[in-house]
Amino acid sequence: MKRTRLSPELQAAWEKIEGYAKGYGLDFFPIIFEVLDYKTLYEIAALGGFPIRYPHWRFGMEYNQLSKGYAYGLSVIYEMVINTNPSYAYLLEGNEMVTQKMVMAHVTAHVDFFKNNMWFAHTNRKMLDEMANHATRIQRLIDRYGYEPVEDFIDTCLSLDNLIDYHAPYINRPAARTEQRLTDGEPEPPTVEGLRVERAYMRDYINPPEYLEQQRRKLQEEAQKARRFPENPQKDILLFLLNYAPLERWQHTILEIIRQYLEYLKRQNQECKFFLRATFRAFPVLSSGRFNSS
């Protein structure tokens, strides 16, 4: 198997960069670097940065798009870093030494951001292992129920990938259904007075028990229709489906797996909006002049 760890020269450069970064006050998880050729790097990029994922056609589509962009000179992935503890970062084999040094310095700022920013406080730091577990569970479902049913349901889940509330850990939102308090007891049945009767002896004739019972059932049906479900607006549609949709057990498992990944991915993607902060924190290390291209 091809060795992907840092060469002695890169390892020595990384030890210097790590010392400079900590000297400037950065506090980051341990970082494990892997040096990959462009095909392997783009394969992992197509899998969302994780080396093991469940089989799905979208990953092949992503790889085809990314690899063509590299082959045509339209895009290059210089580095890729995963928000885990320890963090894994991938370097592109063949880059010049100065590029590798700049990328490693840049990665320290990313990982410092992952570790210390409140936005990532609820991140699953063992997502690398979790992705491998997800792949194993879905493969078992494929073996049991067949590839096409599982693939079709994954496609259905991914079509709702933007209907997730990634702000949920920071906001106390109302539940989908308001549970009735035990002290409230059973709701009172609707009162039916029937038609107006001026003489008491005519009451049973004008409003017979059968008629009153019919009107009572009608009022109950109208009250049931008027009741909203869910009682409160819901932003996390995937969570709502997990709780209330009539899914089979294997479908529930897949939806739960997809939601866990999307919850991680959406928070990870938001880090791009904070890119400038990570860059500026790395900039003193890059501009200090304490290391050169040799």
The whole-number pLDDT of residue 283 equals 44
Residues 102 and 160 reside in one and the same domain: yes
Residue 183 within a domain: no
What SS3 state is found at 230?
coil
Measured between its terminal Cα atoms, the distance across the chain in Å is: 29
**Domain count across the chain:** 2
The whole-number pLDDT of residue 277 equals 44
Residues 197 and 270 reside in one and the same domain: no
Residues 76 and 210 reside in one and the same domain: no
DSSP codes of every residue in 143-160: HHH-HHHHHHHHHHHHTT
The whole-number pLDDT of residue 254 equals 95
Residues 6 or more apart in contact with residue 58 via CB below 8 angstroms: 158
Residues 65 and 208 reside in one and the same domain: no
Residues 54 and 154 reside in one and the same domain: yes
The whole-number pLDDT of residue 209 equals 76
What tokens were used for 38? 């462009």
Residues 122 and 266 reside in one and the same domain: yes
Residue 279 within a domain: yes
Residue 117 within a domain: yes
pTM of the model: 0.73
Which domain range does residue 219 map to? 189-226
Residue 141 within a domain: yes
User: Do residues 38 and 53 lie in contact, with contact meaning Cβ atoms separated by under 8 Å?
Assistant: no
Identify the sign of the CA torsion 120, 126, 128, 132: negative
Residue 146 Ramachandran class (φ > 0 left, ψ -120 to 50 alpha, else beta): left
Residue 293 within a domain: no
The whole-number pLDDT of residue 64 equals 93
Residues 146 and 34 reside in one and the same domain: yes
Residues 108 and 212 reside in one and the same domain: no
**Each residue of 113-165: pLDDT tens digit?**
899 988 888 888 889 899 999 999 999 999 999 999 999 999 999 999 888 88
Residue 245 within a domain: no
Residue 67 within a domain: yes
The whole-number pLDDT of residue 29 equals 93
Residue 236 within a domain: no
Which of 179, 211, 226 is at the close of a domain?
226
Residues 154 and 195 reside in one and the same domain: no
Stretches in the chain below the pLDDT threshold 50: 1, 181-185, 273-294
Residues 109 and 50 reside in one and the same domain: yes
Residues 36 and 91 reside in one and the same domain: yes
Residues 55 and 126 reside in one and the same domain: yes
